[in-house]
Amino acid sequence: MSGLNAIMDTGLSALFSAQAGLATVGHNIANASSPGYSRQQVLFAARRPRITADGAIGRGVEIAGIRRIQDEFLANNMRVQSSRLASYTAVDGALYEIEAILGSVDNDHLADALNKFFNSWNGLAQPPVNTNLKQNVVAAAQSLVQDFHAVSDNLDGLEKNLNESIQAELGTLNSQLRAVAELNKQIMQAEVGGHPANDLRDQRDFLILGISEMAEVAVLEREDGSKDLIMSGRTIVSRGSVTELSTREVAEGGSSRMMVVTQDTLREVALSTGRIEGLLTSRDVHVTQVRDLLDKVAATLVREVNALHTQGRTPLSSGLAFFTGDSMHTIAVNTALVDQPGLVATGRTIAESDNALALALANLGSVSALDPDGETVLDYYRSAVVTVASNRASYEFMVDNQQNVVDSLEAKIASTSGVSLDEEGANMVKYQNGYNAAARVISAVQEMYDTLLNMV
């Protein structure tokens, strides 16, 4: 009877193993579309044989474990490359907004306003001088000032949107850091018996991938199954504890820079890549750079025009500045000229035919009044536009290339860890046949029992 019992036990082991395999196949199929899910596989091992006088007789199969199929090297590389892609995409989006603010090559409002301003002086300078055209000069100047203010306001609005996006991303980041810490605790508790908590590990890795898109992290797995997350040398998540992050603005060189700090100690966490780093770079580098360049354009315009116009005389005035202010935000037409356009000077004398000053002002677009060999107002403006266009082209190129890298990694991960329905279908048939065969063994043993009992 002990021999039959052993055969029955062997058949049952095959039956239970087939059940476990079929259950895992069903789990894989059910989660084929679940984000972050890694295909699972049952590991089978032969039981230790029963030693008899005739030799070692096998005792069936046992389940050695259920593992998830994952390539840790690919997972780490995916986190790094996704972080870079998110950073490049954030900067590219901000540069797109800056380009939209400045206008396209065919619809550049500020360049058109500058040209109209210089053309209005050219019209005023045409002999015989028509003093009625002074109103056109003032109107063109006011339109130019309004365009400067509009660009300044739009850049302020973009900076505000970037600030709000940074705060929103940090809120999401802190929430996901807390979720990873909670999963660490659940995994440590679930793996006390020595079996890996595959589904919980998938959830944690998927969260870490999302975190890496916001801010690049290094991952250190402990022996207890928990994972520490490290940003710029600082441990942000350790087992079940979290160091949350916030922002702080610091003054630098007349402007402000936003940095990410720990909430408890206010120590800076210098992010290298990720969406948050991209937003910070957009705010503190690219928006600031464009603002500085355009402020230089406005300041140069004020300085050059005033340098000439203060030399002018009219029957009612002399030495009058045309513009006030020194930046996009502060530039304005002298209120005296707005109230009384007749104070606009065309020459250095009060003679009505003196148009020398108007001609010089009309030529400011091509020749600097203060440095004939130096850059003009339009040169400064073109430099700003070219800088933005060049930066945008560079980041567009980087985004496209990085997207190809991420797509390639996603394909490799899918081929390694993803669920193939065809493969699972084949496994289903294999386990089903194994189950049927194991059932036949058990049925045969049962018939043998019946035969023995009928002999009694």
- What do you get for the CA distance between the two ends of the chain, in Å? 13
Domain boundaries, the chain: 2-69+419-455, 76-407
What is d(CA 358, CA 432) in angstroms, rounded to the nearest whole number?
95
Looking at residue 422, its amino acid is: D
Where is average pLDDT lowest: 44-53, 267-276, 297-306, 447-456? 447-456
Distance CA 431, CA 145 (A): 78
Mean pLDDT, range 316-343, rounded to an integer: 94
pLDDT tens sequence across 137-146: 999 999 999 9
The C-alpha atoms of residue 209 and residue 205 are separated, in whole angstroms, by 6
Helical H runs in 34-133?
72-102, 109-125
Whether 67 has a pLDDT exceeding 80, the answer reads: yes
Q: pLDDT for 167-222, tens place per residue?
A: 999 999 999 999 999 999 999 999 998 889 999 999 999 999 999 999 999 999 99
* Helix (H), strand (E) at residue 57: strand 55-57
Rounded distance between C-alpha atoms, residue 427 and residue 25, angstroms:
7
Cα distance between residue 21 and residue 146, in whole Å: 73
Place of tokens 């999963």: 183
Nearest by Cα to 125 from 326, 288, 313, 358: 358
Query: 114: buried, middle or exposed (CB in 10 Å: 19+, 13-18, 0-12)?
Result: buried
pLDDT tens profile 98-147: 999 987 655 678 989 999 999 999 999 988 878 789 999 999 999 999 99
Q: Answer with the residue of higher pLDDT: 229 or 317.
A: 229
Residue with the two structure tokens 């809120």: 171
pLDDT band at 256 (very low <50, low <70, confident <90, very high): confident
Euclidean distance between CA atoms 259 and 265, whole angstroms: 14
Rounded Cα distance, 11 and 437, in Å: 9
β-sheet bridge partners, residue 52: 55
- What whole-number distance in Å separates Cα of residue 315 and Cα of residue 351? 9
Model pTM?
0.89
d(CA 426, CA 420): 10
The radius of gyration of the chain from alpha carbons, rounded to an integer in Å, stands at 38
Q: Is the pLDDT of residue 1 over 50?
A: no
Query: So what's the pLDDT on residue 255?
Result: 75
CB 232 within 8 A of CB 267: no
Query: Are the CB atoms for 214 and 274 separated by under 8 Å?
Result: yes
Helix (H) or strand (E) holding 56: strand 55-57
Place of tokens 């009928």: 454
